[in-house]
Amino acid sequence: MFENASRTELTEMGEFGLIQHLAQHFESFADTTQLGIGDDCTVIQRDEHSFSLISTELYLEGVHFDLTFHPLKHLGYKLVTAGVSDILAMNGKPEQVLISIGLSNRFSLEAVEELYAGVRLACDKYKVDLVGGDTTTSRSGLVLNITAVGSVSKSSITYRKGNVKPNDLLVVTGDLGGAYMGLQVLEREKRVFMEVPSMQPDLEQFDYIIGRQLRPEARWDAVALLQELGVVPGVMMDISDGVASEIFHLAKANSIGFDIFEEKLPIDPQTVETAVSFDLNPSIVALNGGEDYELLFTVGQDQYEVIKNQPDFTIIGYVTDLVLKNQLITKAGNTFDIKAQGWPESQK
C-alpha cells in the first residue's frame, strides 16, 4: 500500500465493523482457541468440561467518564462491573480481574487509593480476585483497562450466536434506560455548575438513576437464578450499548429478527419522569440508553411459565424469521423499525 494514497475516516465504519475488518486476515494457530472476536468474551479451552472466558475493555477519561462527576471510588467499582458483566453474559463465573492504569501526576496516592477502594468493593461483591495489571504514567488523563477472566461449563455456555428459533422469547433483567437518564442529569448539573458555581444541586430525587450511571451492578444474581431454574438461554449478551444495538447483533449473528412490545419494556418510574422532563420518549430511552449492564437473552416458548413468574425477568418480545428486521410494536399498536444505533430523527 502506498503511504497516504487514500484516507478513509474511521467514523465511516462503526466500532464493531472496525474490529471485524482489522481481524479478517489473521490466521489461527492455537488449538485452545474456541472463539475469537465477535462475542462478549474470548473463549479458550480449559479442560474436558469447561472453557476459560476472557474479556478486555478500555475506559478513557473524557470518553467513558468525566471526573467532575464520577467519584473515583464509584469509577473503580464500575470498571470491575463492566468486566464481570462480560463474563456473566456468557453464562460464566467471573474469577479474576487484571487492571491496567495510566496516571498523570495530578493524581495523588490518596486519589489512586480511592479508585482501588472501589475496585476492592466490587471484587468483594462479585467474589473475584485482583490478580495483576500494569501501572504507568499518562500524559493525557486517566486511562483504565480491565481484563476479566472466568470459567463456564461447556454445557451451559451461551454465545451471541446460538440455539435460537422463531417464537423464542426475548427476556431482559432489571429495568432499562436508567443509566442513560442518570448521565443526562449529571451533565445538566455540570453545565449549571459551570455557569453558577455557587449553585448546590439537589440530586436526591434522581438517586436511583444516578446510582445506575455511577455505580452499576453486574447481574451475577440473574445468572445464579437461571442456574437455579435450570434454564440455559439460547443466546445472551449484556446491555452495554443499549437494547436496540444489542438485538441488532443478536439478529445479525443468528439471521433472525425481533418483535418488541413497547408496553413490556421495564422502565423505572424515576427514569420515566426524568425522560419526560427532558422531553425524551421513555421507551426510546429504554431502547437506546446504554450502560445498564442488564442481561438480554432468549429462551424457548416452553420456558414461558418458568420465566414469567420471576419479578426480575421481563419478556419484552419474541424472535421472528424476518432476518435483521427488528420492530417495535407501540402501545397504540403501530409498528416501527428499530434502528441499530442512534436515535430516530423524530425523537431527538
132-171 residues in contact with its own copies (CB under 8 A) are 132-141, 143, 145, 147, 149, 151
Instruction: Report, in Å, the least distance between residue 229 CB and its own copies.
Output: 24
What the block records as the C-alpha cell of 259 is 418483535
Q: Supply φ then ψ for residue 168, to 5 degrees.
A: -60, 150
Q: Which residues between 4 and 23 bind its own copies (CB under 8 A)?
A: 4-13, 15, 18-19, 21-23
> CA-CA distances (angstroms) from residue 217 to 6, 141, 271, 341?
44, 25, 17, 24
> What is the closest distance, in whole angstroms, from the C-beta atom of residue 135 to its own copies in the complex?
5
What are the Cα distances from residue 159, in Å, to 162, 181, 186, 221?
A: 6, 29, 35, 19
Q: Tell the smallest beta-carbon distance from residue 43 to its own copies (Å).
A: 8
**Cβ distance to its own copies smaller for residue 67 or 315:** 67
Binding residues for its own copies, how many (CB under 8 A)? 85
In terms of CB distance, is 46 or 325 closer to its own copies?
46
In terms of CB distance, is 44 or 322 closer to its own copies?
44
Residue matched to cell numbers 421495564: 266
Please select the residue that binds its own copies; options are 79, 128, 231, 295, rule is CB under 8 A: 128
Query: Cβ 224 to its own copies, closest distance in Å?
Result: 15
CB of 268 to its own copies, least distance (A): 28
Instruction: Tell me: does residue 209 bind its own copies (CB under 8 A).
Output: no
Per-residue x/- marks for its own copies, 94-113, CB under 8 A?
A: -xx-xxxxxx-x-xxxx-xx
Which amino acid type is present at position 163? N
Window 48-67: residues binding its own copies (CB under 8 A): 48, 52, 54-58, 60-64
Rounded distance between C-alpha atoms, residue 57 and residue 18, angstroms: 15
Closer by beta carbon to its own copies, 99 or else 218: 99
Residue 193 found at the interface with its own copies (CB under 8 A) = no
Closest CA to 238 of 287, 288, 292, 285: 292
Q: How far is CA 116 from the centre of its chain?
A: 22
Q: Does 85 bind its own copies (CB under 8 A)?
A: no
| Shortest Å, Cβ 2 to its own copies | 10
Nearer to its own copies, 231 or 236 (CB): 236
Select 62 or 342, whichever has its Cβ closest to its own copies. 62
What torsion do the CA atoms of 309, 314, 317, 320 make, to the nearest 10 degrees? -70
Q: Which stretch binds its own copies (CB under 8 A): 1-9, 259-267, 277-285, 311-319?
A: 1-9
Alpha-carbon gap, residue 73 to 64, rounded angstroms: 15
Residue nearer to its own copies on the CB measure, 141 or 211? 141
Give the long-range contacts of residues 79-82, CB within 8 A, separation 24 or more: 79/118, 79/119, 79/122, 79/144, 79/146, 80/118, 80/119, 80/122, 80/123, 80/126, 80/128, 80/146, 81/122, 81/126, 81/215, 81/216, 81/217, 81/218, 81/293, 82/57, 82/146, 82/218, 82/240, 82/293
d(CA 284, CA 209): 16
Q: Does 196 bind its own copies (CB under 8 A)?
A: no
Residue 47 engages its own copies in binding (rule: CB under 8 A): yes
Find the shortest distance in angstroms from Cβ 169 to its own copies: 29
Specify the DSSP element, H or E, that contains 158: none
Residues 262-291 that bind its own copies (CB under 8 A): none
| Spatial distance between the Cα atoms of 116 and 105, rounded to a whole number of angstroms | 17
